[in-house]
Amino acid sequence: MEKRILGLDPGLAILGFGAITCTQISHKVQETTVNMLDFGVIRTSADVEMGQRLCTLFDDLHTLMEELQPDLVAIEKLFFYRMSSTIVVAQARGVLILVLGQRRLPYVEFTPAQIKQALTGYGNADKSEVQEAVARELDLDDIPKPDDAADALAVALTAWFQV
């Protein structure tokens, strides 16, 4: 049985995505393999007005869902650090949740600490430790770039560990 999980690292300027496939060879949990399917980012330009940027996210997310056909979507929860940027990211997340609702796709959310805990065993791990864990879990020679895509793969892996 194969399951496709799409991880998303929400943002307005850069929205990271990372898709993995999990294949259960038998009924034993130990006999499950995970492979990277795709990763990348959706970018919007700060030179474009907000409504158009959100439309770009909307259209590109629909295209992404069509191409990757995920069974489950995992999203990084908002982390509040600067109110102005948090509001902008929240608007992008709203578009993301709308697309998932329109496609009737189930989703789960994880805090940054939950993702760090799942991948490194330590909820306060730094970014490089999480990225190294992503490369190790997916048997990659290099850490995926840009960081937003690596973060999205970390979210997808967290969902895989939880299901």
pLDDT digits (tens, 9 = 90+) for 125-147: 999 999 999 999 999 999 999 99
Check residue 42 and give its pLDDT.
97
Q: What is the largest CA-CA distance in the chain?
A: 52
Check residue 83 and give its pLDDT.
56
What residues are annotated to the active site?
A: 9, 76, 148
Parts of the chain with a pLDDT under 50: none
pTM: 0.92
Q: Give 61-120 as a DSSP string.
A: HHHHHHHH--SEEEEEPP--S-HHHHHHHHHHHHHHHHHHHHTT--EEEE-HHHHHHHHH
CA 91-94-96 angle, 5° bins: 115
Check residue 90 and give its pLDDT.
87
Whole-angstrom distance, CA of residue 123 vs CA of residue 108:
18
Check residue 32 and give its pLDDT.
79
Q: Which residues contact 141 (CB under 8 A, 6 or more apart)?
A: 135
